[in-house]
Structure 1
Amino acid sequence: MLSLPFLLCTALAFAASALALAVPRAVSGFPDPVVDPFYSQPSNIASYSLGQIIDTRATVSTFASPSLEKSYQIKFRSQNAQKQPIAAVTTVLVPTKKTLSSSGQASMLSFQNFQDSVTLSCSPSWAYVANSGSPAALAANLEAPIVNGWALDQGYYVSIPDHEGPSSSFISGTNAGHIVLDGIRAALTSEGLSTKTQIGMYGYSGGANAGVFASSLAPSYAKELNVVGVSLGGTPVSPQDTFYQLNGGFASGLAGAGAVGIASAYPDVQQYLDTHINAKGKPVIAGLKSDGTCVGQVVAEYGFINFFDLITPNQDFLLVAPARKALAKETLLQTQASYTVPVPKHPRFIYHALTDELVPFNSSQLYIQEQCAGGADIRSIVYPVGEHITTEILGIPSALAFLGSAFAGTLGSVACGTIIPDTPLGSAASVKVLGSARDSALQKAKSDGSWNL
């Protein structure tokens, strides 16, 4: 029996292809990021400080509503996994009403989209320009209108980083964490907001990988930021474990994209793949990296591939020295890491399905155990039944309830690892958090896979 994620991603792939035929590939002033000079790397990038603004431009947003005053993109300085300077992009949403905390501080949500692909044309910033023709627009605008619409209604600013960066380094959490945090810095500067501004983060799946690394890096890399809460669901804390679960299955394209993404962040891994990729593998890798191959196509067109067969000699290339070294830096499991994994003290909410077919449940639970042993503040929900995508839908009310309480300063304290009550769709509590329209939209998404708000 085909799973809902496979059917949804297949539908997204066909719909994206139809959209590409029906809509011009570039709205005026916003061409494909592959050729758009706004995404280019300045020759003097090293002269900028982390988070410093390089350029800005206004956009017409897919999140248009009475709660949105304006939207725009910021190009800013960050650094990649090798700590080399890069220019990255974030999309900023400014609320019409600006809510202040009891201490007089503004609030900002950093929303990490699950880009899950390895081409710049799938960048969230392009997908969130109205009528851009982005091949990622459908997938990028599934849960995003729910979460970001909620944030704007609350009076929170929003930053949506292109967390894979200019090299599209999918699943390199170190790279992504830097970009998320520097994107927040740039957004705060642009809006004239204090570093005391309350920062929350949201991410699911590939977006949660970026979010969990940003959370982990924040106390050292961006210690000036006031992080009050981080919500993470279906979180890949170990690229190695996730690759093994995906490889050869219906969503094996995500494993291949992950290998390509890690290689783009680690030159030694790239050199190994370039040297050992065989004739069978070259068109697969080229296809994954081709313009317009976004998450729907990655899953629908590159399923049931054993990526170890694309290397000569055929072998588990995660075990070769360059990959082992990179993966030991790109895991948040202390049992796999070559460094001391940080234990941030800000509150976190982590949810996962026991039966998640894409991202390993056991790895996520081990992460919680290791973090709690170090004194973390984590509360969680385990969904006993649910696929990866259905669990995202189920978890949104609880995730936003958590973030709302974090911004309001009403979370309270719990023992680390505490399983908290779910906020079920259709309940009075869910409607109170989301509003009736968003709650109904998520119920419909759970029922038939449609996400129309």
Structure 2
Amino acid sequence: YVGLGATDRLHTYVNRVDGGHAVLDAVRAARSLPGTSLRPESRVGLYGYSQGGGATAAAAELAAAYAPDVQLAGTYSGAPPADLTETIKGIDGSALTGALGWSLNGFLQAEPDLRPIADAHLNDKGRAALEELSGMCIGDSLLAYGFRRSSSWTTDGRSLSQIVESEPRIQEVLDDQRIGNLKPSGPVRVATGVQDDIVPHRQSRQMAVDWCRKGANVTYEAIVLPNLGDKIVTNHMVPLLTDQGAAIDWLKDRLEGRSAVSNCWSMPLQP
């Protein structure tokens, strides 16, 4: 991902365009490696979950315009944060609250005109959190910021979601980040746990619905599991494990040249 591990800039976490381009650039980089069996005509499959699911979904949408040389045989997108406005609500107060800081840092870097808005709403605790999280990985953030509320970071005690609702410019930026507005290239498999309360199930499902309405070849899989614990990551991560075998088999079939049959017709029957 852009900026991940770099010292000259921050990681643009869950940025649709940066993430999608990074995935497609990775394909091109792999093809350029010497001594491999890869060829320009080699079939390409993408696999990603959570942040990765958003990145592969964005890559499938952007491939036709950004990387027409990359012909996608299939894309797996698991638990994609397709609608960041809804995802903010899921993350706030969860074990992954620190991800709000990563998102804010990335968008403040990519959209400098948001800085005055952030400065007007963040208190000293919020600014310190952004500074600290700019150098934290997921393990550190779980320990330092797990289950915190973003309302403790703001001058008036409102949550980040409430501030988003009151600021048209932030809404504009987040609307532009929404995945589902473009028809993806090639067949796609979208999987989402119905109990996912961190990257909310409904917004992931909506991405699949939007793609179906655009005539995309979509295989949608709702992962039905019991509630495994509110806001503690289990409802988000366990679907990855339970669906992994079927997801890999689906992608393997695409890489072997077998056709995918869309199940968009089943969307009204699936949660």
Provide the TM-score with structure 1 as the length reference.
Answer: 0.52
Aligned partner of 1:321 among 158, 168, 189:
168
Aligned pairs for 1:75-90 (under 5 A) are none
1:343 and 1:250 mapped to 2: Cα distance?
33
Q: Is the 8 A contact 2:192 2:201 kept in 1?
A: yes
* Number of the residue aligned with 1:395: 243
1:366 and 1:240 mapped to 2: Cα distance?
13
Aligned pairs for 1:409-420 (under 5 A) are 409-416=257-264, 418=266
Q: Is the 8 A contact 2:48 2:77 kept in 1?
A: yes
* Partner SS for 1:405: helix
Aligned partner of 1:186 among 29, 36, 49:
29
Q: Is the 8 A contact 2:20 2:59 kept in 1?
A: yes
Report whether the alignment pairs 1:264 with 2:109: yes
2:265 and 2:60 mapped to 1: Cα distance?
17
The residue type equivalent to 1:332 in the other structure is I
Report whether the alignment pairs 1:351 with 2:196: no
1:406 and 1:197 mapped to 2: Cα distance?
12
User: Residue by residue, what CA displacement relative to the aligned partner does 1:42-75 show, whole Å, maximum 9, x if unpaired?
Assistant: xxxxxxxxxxxxxxxxxxxxxxxxxxxxxxxxxx
**How many residue pairs end up in the alignment?**
253
Aligned pairs for 1:430-441 (under 5 A) are none
* Number of the residue aligned with 2:5: 120
* Number of the residue aligned with 1:371: 211
Q: Is the 8 A contact 1:173 1:213 kept in 2?
A: yes
Identity of aligned residues (%): 24
User: Residue by residue, what CA displacement relative to the aligned partner does 1:249-293 show, whole Å, maximum 9, x if unpaired?
Assistant: 333222232222222222122343245421121221111112xx1
The structure-2 alpha-carbon separation of the partners of 1:403 and 1:278, relative to structure 1 and needing over 3 Å to count, comes to same
The higher radius of gyration belongs to 1
- Which consecutive unaligned segments of at least 5 residues does structure 1 have? 1-87, 90-117, 124-164, 334-340, 420-453
Cα distance, 1:351 vs structure 2: 0.9
* Number of the residue aligned with 1:198: 43
Report whether the alignment pairs 1:300 with 2:147: no
* Number of the residue aligned with 1:239: 84
The structure-2 alpha-carbon separation of the partners of 1:322 and 1:409, relative to structure 1 and needing over 3 Å to count, comes to same
More strand by share: 1
Q: Is the 8 A contact 2:74 2:187 kept in 1?
A: yes
Provide the TM-score with structure 2 as the length reference.
Answer: 0.84
Q: Is the 8 A contact 2:60 2:185 kept in 1?
A: no
Aligned partner of 2:127 among 276, 282, 289:
282
Larger RCO, structure (CA 8 Å, separation 6 or more)? 2
The residue type equivalent to 1:307 in the other structure is S
Q: Is the 8 A contact 1:228 1:407 kept in 2?
A: yes
Q: Is the 8 A contact 1:369 1:417 kept in 2?
A: no
Cα distance, 1:235 vs structure 2: 1.2
1:275 and 1:303 mapped to 2: Cα distance?
25
User: Residue by residue, what CA displacement relative to the aligned partner does 1:82-133 show, whole Å, maximum 9, x if unpaired?
Assistant: xxxxxx78xxxxxxxxxxxxxxxxxxxxxxxxxxxx8627x9xxxxxxxxxx
Q: Is the 8 A contact 1:372 1:378 kept in 2?
A: yes
2:62 and 2:51 mapped to 1: Cα distance?
17
1:221 and 1:254 mapped to 2: Cα distance?
28
The residue type equivalent to 1:120 in the other structure is G
More helix by share: 2
The residue type equivalent to 2:12 in the other structure is S
Cα distance, 1:408 vs structure 2: 0.6
The structure-2 alpha-carbon separation of the partners of 1:294 and 1:272, relative to structure 1 and needing over 3 Å to count, comes to same
